[in-house]
C-alpha cells in the first residue's frame, strides 16, 4: 500500500514538474513607421501603394489617409527594396527605399514555429517625396513600437 501511494505521489510530482510552454499568440514580426512633414505628424491623403522592389509583391495596396505603416521584412536578404508610389488626381510619384538589415533566428520552443527578428543597419531613399528616414528603433521583432520616422519633403504651393 505504501509503495502504491509513493508511486502515485512521485507520478504527480513528475507531471507537475513538466513545463507547459505557450507560444506567443501575436507572432507577427513587422516594421512600423509614421510620416512627418516639417516637424508635424501627417497622413498621406492620396493613394499609397508599397511594393517589394520594382516588380515584387504588393505589401500595401491603395491605402488612403495613411498615417502609420506596418510592413514585413524579407527573411533571408540582407537588403530590402521598397517602392513607395503615391498617386493623386493629376500626379504619380515614386520613391525607392533600401533597408540594410541583419536577420536573427528567434527560437522559443520545439512546440513553437521559428521566426526571424531583424536589426536595421542603415536606410536610404531616392528623395523623390521622402526627404529622409530616421531609424527610431532598429530592432524589429514582436513589439508593436515605431521603427521608422519617414520625413516627407515640404509641400509645394
The tens digit of pLDDT for each residue in 105-150 reads: 888 777 777 788 999 999 999 999 999 999 999 999 988 899 999 9
**What is residue 20's predicted lDDT score, i.e. its pLDDT?**
52
Domain topology for 26-152 = Immunoglobulin-like (2.60.40)
Where are the strands (E) in 45-114, listed by range? 47-52, 58-63, 68-71, 79-87, 92-106
| Residues paired with 11 in a beta bridge | none
**What is residue 36's predicted lDDT score, i.e. its pLDDT?**
96
Instruction: Supply 26's cell numbers.
Output: 501575436
**What is residue 81's predicted lDDT score, i.e. its pLDDT?**
96
Domain boundaries defined on the chain: 26-152
**What is residue 155's predicted lDDT score, i.e. its pLDDT?**
77
Please give the Cα distance from 32 to 76 (Å, whole number): 19
Please give the Cα distance from 53 to 41 (Å, whole number): 26
**What is residue 27's predicted lDDT score, i.e. its pLDDT?**
73
**What is residue 21's predicted lDDT score, i.e. its pLDDT?**
57
Low-confidence ranges of the chain (pLDDT < 50): 17
Please give the Cα distance from 13 to 33 (Å, whole number): 49
Please give the Cα distance from 113 to 123 (Å, whole number): 29
**What is residue 80's predicted lDDT score, i.e. its pLDDT?**
95
> Considering the entire predicted model, what is its pTM?
0.79
Buried b (16+ CB within 10 A) or exposed e, 71-96: bebbeeeeebebbbbbeeeeeeeebb
**What is residue 13's predicted lDDT score, i.e. its pLDDT?**
59
Alpha helices in 50-144 (DSSP H): none
Amino acid at each position: 500500500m505504501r509503495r502504491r501511494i509513493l508511486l502515485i505521489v512521485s507520478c504527480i510530482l513528475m507531471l507537475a514538474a513538466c513545463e507547459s510552454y505557450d507560444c506567443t499568440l501575436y507572432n507577427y514580426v513587422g516594421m512600423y513607421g509614421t510620416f512627418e512633414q516639417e516637424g508635424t505628424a501627417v497622413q498621406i491623403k492620396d493613394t499609397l501603394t508599397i511594393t517589394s522592389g520594382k516588380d515584387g509583391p504588393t505589401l500595401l495596396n491603395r491605402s488612403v489617409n495613411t498615417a502609420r505603416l506596418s510592413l514585413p521584412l524579407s527573411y533571408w536578404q540582407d537588403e530590402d527594396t521598397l517602392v513607395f508610389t503615391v498617386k493623386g488626381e493629376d500626379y504619380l510619384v515614386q520613391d525607392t527605399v533600401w533597408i540594410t538589415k541583419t536577420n536573427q533566428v528567434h527560437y522559443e520552443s520545439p512546440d513553437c514555429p521559428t521566426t526571424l527578428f531583424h536589426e536595421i543597419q542603415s536606410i536610404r531613399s531616392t528623395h523623390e517625396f521622402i526627404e529622409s528616414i530616421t531609424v527610431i528603433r532598429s530592432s524589429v521583432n514582436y513589439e508593436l513600437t515605431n521603427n521608422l520616422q519617414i520625413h516627407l519633403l515640404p509641400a509645394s504651393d
